[in-house]
Chains A and B, each alone.
Chain A
């Protein structure tokens, strides 16, 4: 069946998954559903100890079995040691058909590949995958399907019961012997535990893993003792230098600075740029530079930000410290300055659900005026691809891209027209991850295109006369005139992954990659 973004979703996939094809952003608006809840094993006996000696013991106590689902958060990013540590034990126990439900997986998890190949891991649910796991899935090594969900989509899938977690393993920078988890302090300081809150609420068993056991009670807890079955202390849960890096150096790349300037021009010349506006941006060089340009104009015009949200960086936190933003809402910290900034009383932790779950009673993303995003590819329908490389290999993650793009009044995508020989603006993206209806403005180094559905933005930008406006087709044509039109990448027949829309419908499928051979 062809879905609302024009992608063919095979009937067989609809049948196996029980999912519907994507039908537009607001398909589930107001549709009532009942939340799913976990099975709870109560602790009343005051002699009960939650402290266990090893991951192995925790797995046994939690009834680890073939076919179970285990979950993880990705706050330790490329420094994560938890996933490999737990999966190594599961592998040693000889368990099979495991589903991993992670908020994201990265290059740190390359050691899982042999476990995919030998059938220990047969399903993966994640925001995305990078490195060797992505390659392994694209080459058809995973027996089941990889399901890629946005951060909000993951919370939705768990709260509706579509994803049932048997055991959640929650790496916690500090924890006490009764399971009060905090994301801050300790050796693997990541600041927040936002992605893991839903696991705490909905998993049948929750195991906290820490390398910094602190005296009881560890308050205020980010995940409470009332959610945690067991606590395991290990030597190391993360590699600090890879968790939160130092603040990125300001970019000197003229192409990025140019795009940053265009992006700032778009923001300040559209109607939502007024006192109290809300804003999310990323960690790329152009995003950070555009935040700095924006700060100058905010100062000049005496405009303050109402709230900033997202994965936070030094550049955003500086706005708070300088009194130019009223609050920062934090789901993830990308650098040490952002972690340290949590001391500011106006820097609030929010859960991934509050941030972006499309099926709660209104997420923070709905209140966004602007979001500045990146993309691997954008097509002439404004569809974005942030998961599958132009060569057909799975190589990225949805993150909050579809959530914020839908929520924000003005969703801006910054991407250079060309990445080496690959045109980022193309006729059809390899895989749709964020629908064009969510994307309003595309900023490239060769000009700025506005989604024709947003005549209000187009009028505002025409009136200001500062932004080099082009149509999206013009941008594509410039790209193709330089690098040539790319040949459509050929895939195998088998579907290896699903790109889930925020609401659980299917946005697109990812097929097995095919070795390239000249056919003559």
Chain B
């Protein structure tokens, strides 16, 4: 999936995260700011990378400001940001790459 333009999903509310994606030409550049980075930094990165891989996003600058979101929330925000950035207008593939 191609990241065609910058897009944002999520909020800065507690237990949510705000994900910003931008077109990038250098693989996945991941930047994380998290209230729980010491305990869950690696887990958050793992979930983000898995989600991007599932969506087939190869080149992206992705920035996440996390306020203690659970894995399911992180997945949903990353998926949403990427589809917005792709300008995708069709039916979303629920149960496909969106899980």
Contacts and interface: CB of A to CB of B under 8 A. Distances in A.
B98 interface: no
B38 A483 contact: no
A483 B39 CA distance: 11
Contacts of A516: 37-38, 41
Interface in A481-495: 482-484, 486-487, 489-490
A61 interface: no
B45 interface: yes
Contacts of B35: 391, 420-421
A421 B70 contact: yes
B63 interface: no
A460 to B, nearest CB: 36
B38 A484 contact: no
Contacts of B69: 421
Nearest to A391: B38
Contacts, number: 48
A489 B67 CA distance: 17
Contacts of B38: 391-392, 487, 489-490, 516
A421 B40 contact: yes
A421 B36 contact: yes
Interface string B36-56: 111111110100000000000
A422 B37 CA distance: 11
Contact of B39 (A482, A487, A518): A487
Interface string B12-31: 00110000000000000000
A390 interface: yes
A487 B45 contact: no
A489 B39 CA distance: 6
B68 interface: yes
Contact of B40 (A482, A486, A490, A518): A486
Given A420-B35, A421-B68, A482-B70, A487 B15 contact: no
B40 to A, nearest CB: 6
A391 B39 contact: yes
Interface string A497-520: 000000000000000000010100
A420 B68 contact: yes
Interface centre among B14, B36, B41, B42 (most CB of A within 10 A): B36
A422 B68 contact: yes
Given A420-B14, A420-B35, A420-B36, A487 B42 contact: yes
Nearest to A423: B39
Contact of A484 (B14, B40, B45): B40
Nearest to A488: B39
Contacts of B67: 420
B71 interface: yes
Interface in A441-491: 482-484, 486-487, 489-490
Interface in A211-235: none
Contacts of B68: 420-422
B43 to A, nearest CB: 6
Find the residue from A421, A483, A486 having the highest chain B CB count within 10 A: A421
B27 to A, nearest CB: 14
Nearest to A390: B39
Query: For B37, B39, B67, B68, which residue has the most chain A Cβ atoms within 10 angstroms?
Result: B39
B30 to A, nearest CB: 9
B35 to A, nearest CB: 7
Interface in A375-431: 390-392, 420-422
Contacts of B42: 487, 518
A390 B34 CA distance: 13
Contacts of A392: 38
A390 B42 CA distance: 16
Q: What are the 8 A-B residue pairs with the smallest beta carbon separation, nearest first? A: A420-B68, A486-B39, A421-B68, A489-B38, A516-B37, A391-B38, A421-B36, A516-B38
27 contacts: A390-B36, A390-B39, A391-B36, A391-B39, A392-B38, A420-B15, A420-B35, A420-B68, A421-B35, A421-B36, A421-B39, A421-B40, A422-B36, A483-B40, A484-B40, A484-B43, A486-B36, A486-B39, A486-B40, A487-B38, A487-B42, A489-B39, A516-B37, A516-B38, A518-B41, A518-B42, A518-B45
Interface of B: 14-15, 35-43, 45, 67-71
Given A484-B43, A487-B39, A489-B38, 6 more contacts: A392-B38, A421-B35, A421-B40, A422-B36, A487-B38, A487-B41
